[in-house]
Structure 1
Amino acid sequence: MTSFTSCPDCMGLGKQKRRIKKSLRLRYLLELEQFEKANGEGTPPIRPEASLYICPTCAGSGLVSSLDFPKPDKENYPHVAIIGGGIGGTALAVACLHRGIPFTLYERDKAFDERSQGYGLTLQQASKAMEGFGIFDLDKGVVSTRHLVHNPDGKVVAEWGMRKWMQGSTKTSPKKTNIHIARQSLRQALIQQLGSDTTIQWGHQLLDFKDNKDGGIDLNFQVNGKVKTDKADLIVGADGIRSAVRSLLISEKRSPLRYLGCIVILGICPLSALENMNSHLLDSATVFQTANGNERIYMMPYDSDSIMWQLSFPMTEEDAKTLSTKGKKALKEEAIQRTQWHSPIPEILSATLETQISGYPVYDRALLRSEWLENSGKATLIGDAAHPMSPFKGQGANQALLDALSLARTIFKACRPPSNWREKGIRESVLTAFESEMIERSSVKVQDSALAAQFLHSEIALYEGNEPRGKVLKRKGKL
């Protein structure tokens, strides 16, 4: 495996600033002088800002290959305690590793595959960001090139994607590429960057944490029935929608789980179980969805040999909880009963083993606010712990990956010598700026995902137009 370290030319940011033209600098100075002579009357001149360009040394990844990973710089950088070994937490650990930032990654599960985590993800803007973690090729990822929307009879009401666009001469192939990958495959690719999963502290359930007299943090864990205490300079909650770190920083009363009015049932079906099916929808490069204004099913490649389906429909919170606790058999029966639609939907659901089915009510939380964290001292949140959202825009994992990269880059830039971050405090030096960027970037995704939970189960889902359903609303000025 290739080792990586931070690019020295862009300081791991992937971009460099162009020099501001001398003529622009001189014009600004002249306008500033005239403004000051006028005793501040009129409009003040705007200081020119340097534009950014992709770093040619690292091609925008922020990393360069090296013989070995950099050794942790314990003298200059804070020791980061990462709580949660899912996508966001593992990604943050990898980003810290590449930059010589000391870290410890804690996960409450006792092993990688202790819990079933068999659903798929779609990497959108984060597909490019994967290079920032030293992952330039996802072997188990599948690229989709066509997206279809049907009504229950199988009529196509919308189509978009590379294969559609390349048929005409008015549109060119898009730059963005969606990569579909199993969550555990992506997680494993990140763990491989760490060297092995032995770098993760498995079986560590966080109990609490508090500042110590040395200026750091004491963290208390329950491990094999005993209490264990570790130390760190910064704690990052990457422990999901029911985050233990969040509950210690932000009361549940202030920011409770918010039910979004629907339930999701997930399943994974191997293509080998559909041997007699000859459908163009099962080519491992097509994403399709079918809706009737209430129920909606979404199907995408899980890997080159399987397809994942996601059925969702409105239901009261009490009924959704009841159905999810009845078990896999009941979930499968409910899904089949609600989707007697066009082929190959009934065949796929019937061929899906009960062991590959799960279901849960859909929740998010109110938008995270900076003031909720301003008194959090040496602690922050990323991923679902910070901004949980519905799965209907496919943004949860994308935002978690972007959070991890942003936080590691901010630590690396803000804490290098001679920053005096210990005297200023980690919040002033790092966390305030990071949280501001994270909240601004992710809030619109939370809002759009919540709205999608409504409009995907309405007549809007059946609008005839070759564009994603959210774009229909935005174009009509309703979103």
Structure 2
Amino acid sequence: MSENYVVCHNCDGEGDVAPTELSARQKKRLAHTGKAPQRQPCVTCAGRGVVPGNSSPGGPPQVAIVGGGLAGCAAALALKQRGVACAIYEGDSSQNERPQGYALTLQQGSRALRSLGVVVRGTTPTGHASFDSTGRTLGAYAPTQTGQGRSQMRSANVVCPRRRVRDAVAAGLDVTYGRRCVSVADCVITFEDGTTEGPFDVIIGADGVRSRVARNKPTYLGYVVALGIAPAEAVPTHLRRATWQCLDGVANRMYSMPFDGCTDASTDAADDIRETSDGDRVMWQFSWREADEGAARLLAKAGGVTIRETVQERCRDWASYVPHLVSETAPEDIVAYALVDIDQVRCVVDDRTVLIGDAAHAMSPFKGQGANQALVDGVELARRLYRVQSLRPVSSPPPRGALSVEEALLDFERECIMRVTPKLNMSRANAQLTHSISALAVMAANAKKAEAQAAKDAQKAKEQEKKDAAAWAVGSNQRGASKAQAAADKQAEKMRRDAEKKALEAEEDAAASKVMKPKKKKKDKDDVSALLMAGLDGGKKMKKVPVTKSAEKEKLSALRLAQEEAMRKKGVVLQNDDLLRANKNRQMEEEGSATGLDNALNMLGMEEKEKSKNLKVLFN
């Protein structure tokens, strides 16, 4: 289920934009670290990179996609939405040639689907459990303890058939079936029937693990995987909508998950769905160690009956519901394959050819990331190719951060290596762990950790529900909502102004500290005249009282006499100018231009330090 979308011109299809406003402090911090400002989701497209609309690229195809699976269709749809003409060539004779496929859990793939405007419905597992081969529980937990948080998490992990996802992405695309590629050279594709297509500006290899475009050789991991689809009634009631695994800690493992029938979850949290249940089925995956690659490939070609018998023999003595599940599966719904992966992520073949999906990074299913990363590949590659001016429609504005074709492919490869390599390594490590003697202990420990995390998630879900209820209560009253929003805006504006003011003051203080130190405010001191008079009056300081003009004259006269008497005793003769400076000194003291002792020295005209010692008695 989806509607038509076109590229968002506000963010140029990226889904995020650079921040428009930065505070002075933020600018200073970024300049110091040399980092680019963190990009923000585009408000026009809500972070999708696309908006509702119709797009029909014109002209001959510039991009060829070899392979019509998840990765190829995701890339084709993303390019179509950006107005880039492309052709899709699929080797299968029809859309339904292959078996029903397998179930997958959409994680990062849900975000990629959202960026394509595609909505896929499925189910969310009601719980997760691990057992040993006797049926003893190693650990069990549910996504939430009460079930009330499920609505909050329903868009996080959605379980559904792979074909449902592929069909939703391919809807509206023109896929050419029955064109099996055998080689690519000089941007020209050669097909099995001897015909060719091209040259193209770019060729995208999305033709799987044994890609003819990649010309790579996958690594056999030493395991065989058998897949089956059975009625949900073949497993105990409490496990029908749960994911569970059973392992012997030696070489064998059974894993089961919901397949189809129930739809109570969606990849889009805004999707208003109703829970339905029609003919529930489960998918099981039985894997075991097999050192002989030749034997593994022979079994994969043997057919459903032989594969089922082989699996039944391996789990014959396990908990009864495991062999019962296998026996209740029709042979035509059972397939097997030898497990392989690729040692190192590799995307760029040459300056015009690139790989995505399993062709670039095939991995084991024990991390559940193959399909998710394939969907992300398609979106990320399309976003970079849209920055190539020659691939953009004539009516489109110039790209933001233009790239050449070669630069676009290399940039995509760098991003893909960083994103996929940890998942590739983890999937290989999980394959070894789940078929080893350490599996039982590790699975039990992991189950306990997951149970604790589930309890935390449940608590967060409850808190979020309370917040949502409070927000709804405010929003239900339009007047109250308006007042709350206005108050929030006012508070945010005040905080912004205060932050800018503090930042400006800090910058001014920093600039001033580099030029001169600020003057310290001096404490109020007694003026020199009061100190002199105090020295002649037995050390008692005279209190300042308001005086008249006549009293001021008398005070000055007394001060002159006191100065003459004090200096006469010390053998110093004061001149008239010196006495005038004494009176001027009081004004200087009030302005804080010098200390009391310095004023006294200046007043007396004494420069010799030895003589100045005689004045210290006047200040004690």
Give the structure with the larger helix fraction: 2
2:40 corresponding residue in structure 1: 53
1:392 aligned to 350, 354, 366, which one? 366
Structure 1 residue 153, shift from structure 2 partner: 2.2
- Name the amino acid aligned to 1:106: Y
Aligned to 1:386, what secondary structure does the other structure show?
Answer: helix
Q: Is 2:154 the counterpart of 1:208?
A: no
Verify: 1:266 aligned to 2:267, yes or no: no
Cα distance in 2 for partners of 1:454, 1:356 equals 27
What displacement does 1:145 show? 3.2
Q: Report the CA distance between 1:163 and its aligned residue.
A: 3.0
The residue number in structure 2 matching 1:426 is 405
Q: Distance in 2 between matches of 1:226 and 1:319?
A: 33
Q: Given the alignment of the two structures, is residue 2 of structure 1 paired with residue 27 of structure 2, yes or no?
A: no
CA contact (8 A) 1:111 1:203 kept: yes
Structure 2 counterpart of 1:94, which letter? L
Shift of the 26–356 alpha-carbon distance from structure 1 to 2, 3 Å rule, reads closer
Distance in 2 separating the partners of 1:470 and 1:193: 44
The CA deviation at 1:419 is 5.9
How does 1:253-332 map onto structure 2 within 5 Å? 256-271=217-232, 274=234, 279-282=237-240, 284=241, 286-293=242-249, 294-304=251-261, 305-316=280-291, 317-332=293-308
Q: Given the alignment of the two structures, is residue 354 of structure 1 paired with residue 331 of structure 2, yes or no?
A: yes
| Partner in structure 1 of residue 499 of structure 2 | none
- Go from structure 1 to structure 2 and tell me whether the alpha carbon gap of 1:469 and 1:378 turns closer, same or farther (over 3 Å shift): farther
Change (3 A) 1:228 1:159: same
Distance 1:161 1:8, change over 3 A: farther
**Cα RMSD (Å):** 3.0
Residue 71 of structure 1, aligned match among 37, 51, 56 = 56
**Deviation (angstroms), 1:368:** 2.4
Moved more, 184-193 or 308-317: 184-193
> What is residue 149 of structure 1 aligned with on the other side?
130
- SS of structure 2 residue aligned to 1:232: coil
Whole-angstrom CA distance in 1 between matches of 2:148 and 2:231? 34
In the alignment, is the contact (CA less than 8 A) between 2:346 and 2:355 conserved in 1?
Answer: no
Q: Distance in 2 between matches of 1:26 and 1:377?
A: 38
Does the 8 Å CA contact 1:25/1:48 hold for their aligned counterparts? no
Cα distance in 1 for partners of 2:18, 2:446 equals 36
- 304-313 vs 263-272, which moves further: 263-272
Deviation at 1:117, TM superposition (A): 4.3
1:114 to 77, 97, 112: 97
CA contact (8 A) 1:20 1:49 kept: no
**Equivalent in the alignment of 1:187:** 166
The number of residue pairs the alignment matches comes to 422
Distance verdict in 2 for CA 1:338–1:408, change over 3 Å: same
Do the aligned partners of residues 231 and 177 (structure 1) sit closer, same or farther apart at CA in structure 2, a change above 3 Å counting?
A: same
Q: How big is the shift at 1:24?
A: 3.5
Q: Please give the secondary structure, in 1, of the residue aligned with 2:438.
A: helix
Select the structure that is richer in strand. 1
Letter in 2 for 1:280: H
Determine whether 1:448 maps to 2:426: yes
- Give the drift of 1:17: 2.4
Other structure's SS at 2:198 match: strand
Contact 1:246–1:385 (CA under 8 A) maintained in structure 2? yes
**How many percent of aligned residue pairs carry the same amino acid?**
34
- Higher RCO structure, 1 or 2 (CA under 8 Å, sep 6+): 1
Change (3 A) 1:460 1:172: farther
Whichever residue aligns with residue 288 of structure 1, its letter is: W
Residue 237 of structure 1 corresponds to which residue in structure 2?
Answer: 205
Kindly state the Cα deviation for residue 362 of structure 1 after the two structures are TM-superposed. Answer: 0.4
> SS of the residue aligned with 2:446?
coil
Q: Residue 177 in 1 paired to residue 156 in 2? A: yes
Change (3 A) 1:468 1:450: farther
- 1:338 aligned to 2:314? yes
CA contact (8 A) 2:129 2:447 kept: no
Preserved CA contact (<8 Å) 1:257 1:364: yes
For residue 82 of structure 1, report the CA deviation from its aligned partner. 0.3
Structure 1: 5+ residue stretches without partners: 33-44, 212-216, 473-479
Q: Normalised by the size of structure 2, how large is the TM-score? A: 0.63
**How do 1:148-167 residues align onto structure 2 when only pairs under 5 Å count?**
148-164=129-145, 166=146
With over 3 angstroms needed to count, the CA separation of the structure-2 counterparts of 1:460 and 1:22, relative to structure 1, is same
Query: Is the 2:126–2:142 contact (alpha carbons within 8 Å) kept by the matching residues of 1?
Result: yes
Q: What letter matches 2:44 in structure 1?
A: T
Choose the corresponding residue for 1:219, options 189, 209, 212.
189
SS at match of 1:288: strand
Distance change (3 Å), C-alpha of 1:381 and 1:117: farther
> Deviations 1:111-160 (Å, cap 9, x if unpaired)?
11122242221111212221112113x23x22223111111222221223
Q: Which structure 2 segments of 5+ residues have no match?
A: 262-279, 452-620
Q: 1:161 to 1:81 in 2, by over 3 A?
A: farther
Match of 2:84 among 87, 90, 101: 101
Q: Do 1:16 and 1:53's aligned partners in 2 also have CA atoms closer than 8 Å?
A: yes
CA distance in 1: counterparts of 2:172 and 2:439, whole angstroms: 40
Q: Give the structure 2 partner of residue 38 of structure 1.
A: none
1:80 equivalenced with 2:50 (yes/no):
no
> Is contact 1:456–1:469 with CA below 8 Å preserved after alignment?
no
Contact 1:19 1:50 in 2 (8 A): no
Shift in Å at residue 90 of structure 1? 1.0
Partner of 1:130: 113
Q: Look up the equivalent residue of 2:213 and give its one-letter code.
A: V
SS across alignment from 1:299:
strand
- Matched-pair contact (CA < 8 Å) for 2:124–2:154: no
Shift of the 388–470 alpha-carbon distance from structure 1 to 2, 3 Å rule, reads farther
Alpha-carbon contact 1:261-1:315 (below 8 Å) kept? yes
- Residue equivalent to 1:376: 350
